[in-house]
Structure 1
Amino acid sequence: MTDELFKAAKDAMAFAYAPYSKFPVGAAIRGEDGKVYKGANIENLAFPQGWCAECTAIGQMIMGGAKKIVEIAVIAEKLPLCPPCGGCRQKIAEFATRDTCIYLCDEVGVQKTLTIDELLPFAFETEVIG
């Protein structure tokens, strides 16, 4: 299962639009429906108004009808084990459980696995989240 997410994240990275940072990133989410949703970072000239790969994948998941992230893989071309940024950590937490797995990948495959609770131990929560 993790190999499928790794491949999907790597495939998604090929669609990154990163002419300013030159830092392509790909992400793949498995929703509670079992489907895989992909995303890449998309920049624009009004930096930092672009969006991250994880955000794109979350949008795809929501538009596909899923509401919960079961697991997510992230890969960056120029940085091994690229964890989600702070904003994306909170976005992931919004649609995850504390045990949702985050797979950090390099060009070979999954190299490190963390839960969202490990990645964002004091996530902002309300009665809606958690």
Structure 2
Amino acid sequence: MDELIEEARDAQAQAHVPYSDYTVGAALRAADGSVYVGCNIENANYSNSLHAEEVAIAEAVKEGHRDFAALAVSSGARDGVTPCGMCRQTLAEFCDDDLPVVCDEGGDDGSIDASEYTLGELLPNTITEEMLE
């Protein structure tokens, strides 16, 4: 998972955060091993801002992927940021409850320290297609 966290860290460099200065990067590994990254993109009205996880999953879906193996999320603060509720629900549209979600907590010496959750732990009782029928 360290490589996936590194990809998420690298994606932060592209973040557009003129209002919060809070960079976030995400790296989503598809089942075939390919990795799609995203960064947060802020907008002056905030509600149109894009989250790093949304950007990564949009790139992957655009390329035809619908099956995912893992997600890593990192902020410039290395504070163990987790996907927000909206991003969790978007991930649940394409991912099973057992998707590993790794959250970067940095490390005292620049090394990688992370917390790992499953999507189901982060979003229990997910709204699913079956619930809409």
Q: When the two structures are superposed, what TM-score results if normalisation uses the length of structure 1?
A: 0.92
Counterpart-to-counterpart distance in 2, 1:110 and 1:117: 22
**Cα distance, 1:110 vs. partner?**
4.4
Counterpart-to-counterpart distance in 2, 1:79 and 1:90: 23
Counterpart-to-counterpart distance in 1, 2:57 and 2:63: 10
Aligned-partner SS, 1:103: strand
Aligned-partner SS, 1:92: helix
- The residue number in structure 1 matching 2:95 is 96
Counterpart-to-counterpart distance in 1, 2:32 and 2:59: 13
Aligned-partner SS, 1:39: strand
Within the candidate set 112, 121, 126, 2:124 is matched to 121
Is 1:69 aligned to residue 71 of structure 2?
no
**Cα distance, 1:127 vs. partner?**
2.8
Is 1:111 aligned to residue 110 of structure 2?
no
| Superposition RMSD in Å | 1.6
Aligned-partner SS, 2:129: coil
Q: Size of the alignment, in residue pairs? A: 128
Structure 2's unaligned 5+ residue stretches are none
Q: Deviations over 1:4-63 (max 9, x none)?
A: 101100000111101111111000000122100000000111212111000000011112
- The residue number in structure 2 matching 1:87 is 86
Counterpart-to-counterpart distance in 2, 1:126 and 1:65: 20
Say which one has the larger Rg.
Answer: 2
Task: Give yes or no for contact 1:6–1:110 (8 Å, CA) kept in 2.
Answer: no
